[in-house]
Amino acid sequence: MTAAAVLVALAAVLLWWPVPEAYRRLAGLVAEERGMARRMDPWLLVWVLPAAALLVFGVAPGVAGALVAGLVTRQRRRSCREALADRDSRQLIAALAVMSAELSVGAPVVQACRAAAADLARIDHDGAVGPELARMAARAELGGDPGPESATRAGPVRRLARSWAVSLEYGLPVGDVLAALREDLVSRQDFAARTRAGLAGPRATAVVLAGLPVVGLVLGQAMGAHPARVLLESRIGGVLLVVGTALSVAGVVWADRIADQAVRR
């Protein structure tokens, strides 16, 4: 049990290890330039847990630890994707407000796009929407197509590019199209925020239910039943450990998928 406690403590330290702000900003700049560059996330060090379990206890604990580490990695990446998507949506909403204000005083749409990009650059240097708006304005100024086939990486910017292209193709007022797009984005963001808040309880319940077997193991160990010895040192215990861990992980993943489908509606 001493080795198991050390592994759990090590995993906890790795999970909550703070990421330096300078490293995050530098990683964002490098990823922006390289496009497909991957950021080194300290959370990936949680894979030390299954490796240590494999070396100390054997195959079954290593497999169970790998399942837990995979779940932690999946949840971390999912939360990062949601945070980036929310940030891009907020930045695009702010940019659309600036563009609408510029268009209302008679500015050309290219100038309005440049003004929105400059405003976002002053507010957030790490955002992806501002640079994409600047590139879109440059393409439009040179006679290029700002439509969805242009190389935009930020997801919400594709909707702006598509709306801009539709207004040019069918002769629709750009200001009205952008105002409708902004209203739609605000409605979607509000709905997603309310849905996530309403599903916070069920998500927490799923995590608690997945962790209840750990509580049972702790209670059994405190009572002298030695369940850890059975799970770590016997073949049938190893099978039960892997199966139980897989079921708990599958329950959390399934609950998240149900919640994500509700948010995307």
pLDDT tens, residue by residue, 69-87: 899 888 888 888 888 888 8
Is residue 225's pLDDT more than 50? yes
Residue whose tokens read 């590019």:
161
d(CA 58, CA 4): 12
**pLDDT at residue 37 in the model:** 41
d(CA 198, CA 181): 26
Is residue 183's pLDDT more than 80? yes
Residues 6+ apart with CB under 8 A from 104: 175
Q: Please give the average per-residue pLDDT across 170-185, as a whole number.
A: 90
% of the chain with per-residue pLDDT over 70:
79
pLDDT tens, residue by residue, 37-55: 445 566 777 788 888 888 8
Average pLDDT, the chain: 79
Contact 160, 184 (CB under 8 A): no
